[in-house]
Amino acid sequence: MSTAPPALDFFWAEITGKCQLSCTHCYAGSGPDGTHGTMTAAEWVTAITQARTLGARMVQFIGGEPTLHRDLPTLIGHALGDGLETEVYTNLVHATPAMWEVFAQPGVRLATSYYTDDPDQHRQITGRKTLHLTRRNIAQAVTMGIPIRVGIVGVVNGQRVDQAKAELAQLGVTDVGIDRMRLLGRPARAACDASELCGRCGDGIAAILPDGTVTPCPLGRWLKAGNLRDLGLGELYAGANRLAADSGVHARRMPPCEPDGDGQCEPKCRPGCDPALGCRPPGGDPPPPPPDDRRKVAS
């Protein structure tokens, strides 16, 4: 007899597959040729409200690059109105003055990925010469007092990870995670590689993709529970949890990683159901939410 899944606590809203970058490690395969999918703004609003009704405390807007979706400000406003803590996982390549006003609202926080302090190495990883833009906008967020966390993802040999970490410290970023590239999406060895997952997918968490498909997490996007245009989010979340269990994903649950002396995790650690900032110090399941109830994710 199947048991009910734990209450939904956190969900990803992947509102677009479009992105200015073409990162070699993108698990979603996003890029300039991506689209916003088929979900309308009204359908996203309904999904957000359903998630809150199911108990969700936090949403993370991801992509692609979520700031490219014209309805992002509206969706953030609706999430805040529903009482959801809101995080936007953005590459911070570009943000308009109006978008900065959206980011500055109480209850909104930012997350982004960083790779290196070297512009050429950054271009090798992302496909664009945009390091100076991301660096500038990280500094802007810090100056404005907008909560921001940054994930350093190891992608290429000889990557200047330590230098990137030092540069972020100089910019005033205090919440930095380190993780390795997950072999899913563009760098995949296989289309459905459960060994790259933390094993907690669908356990209090779920992802909604741009076409309305619900999955246990963005990394496990091949585990499709169904579509919001056919079923309610509650039924789809329960189905995502069952899919993760039946496919053996939950059997692969890894123990919490051990942080180093600086409280950071090494790249060998589990992804923690966090596509870009997976390695987090132990203390929550999954992943610890500093300082209130923050989960990440990202693109």
pLDDT digit string, tens, across residues 80-105: 999 999 999 999 999 999 999 999 99
pLDDT higher than threshold 80 for residue 189: no
Give residue 159's pLDDT: 92
Pick 278 or 185 by higher pLDDT.
Answer: 185
Buried b (16+ CB within 10 A) or exposed e, 19-45: bbbbbebbbbbbbeebebbebeeeebb
pLDDT of residue 72: 98
Pairing of strands 226-227, 213-215: antiparallel
Q: Is the pLDDT of residue 295 over 50?
A: no
**Residue 261, amino acid:** G
Question: What local confidence, expressed as pLDDT, does residue 5 receive?
Answer: 78
Instruction: Tell me the pLDDT tens digit for each residue of 26-71.
Output: 878 889 999 999 999 999 999 999 999 999 999 999 999 999 999 9
Q: What was the pLDDT predicted at 156?
A: 87
**Model-level pTM?**
0.83
What pLDDT, on a 0 to 100 scale, did the predictor assign at position 2? Answer: 60
Give the model's pLDDT for residue 195: 62
Averaged pLDDT of the chain: 82
Q: What is the pLDDT of residues 101-157, one digit of tens each?
A: 999 999 999 999 999 999 999 999 999 999 999 999 999 999 999 999 999 988 888
pLDDT tier at 182 (50, 70, 90 boundaries)?
Answer: confident
1 vs 67, residue with greater confidence: 67
Q: What's the pLDDT score for residue 267?
A: 34
Residue ranges of domains in the chain, CATH in brackets: 15-40+58-204 (3.20.20.70)
Task: Provide the edge-to-edge strand list for the sheet that holds 205-208.
Answer: 176-180, 148-154, 108-114, 85-89, 58-62, 10-14, 205-208, 213-215, 226-227
Q: How confident is the model at residue 259 (pLDDT cuts 50, 70, 90)?
A: very low
Q: How confident is the model at residue 187 (pLDDT cuts 50, 70, 90)?
A: low
pLDDT for 209: 97
Q: Residue 225 and residue 167: Cα distance in Å, rounded?
A: 41
Q: What pLDDT is stored for residue 281 in this prediction?
A: 30
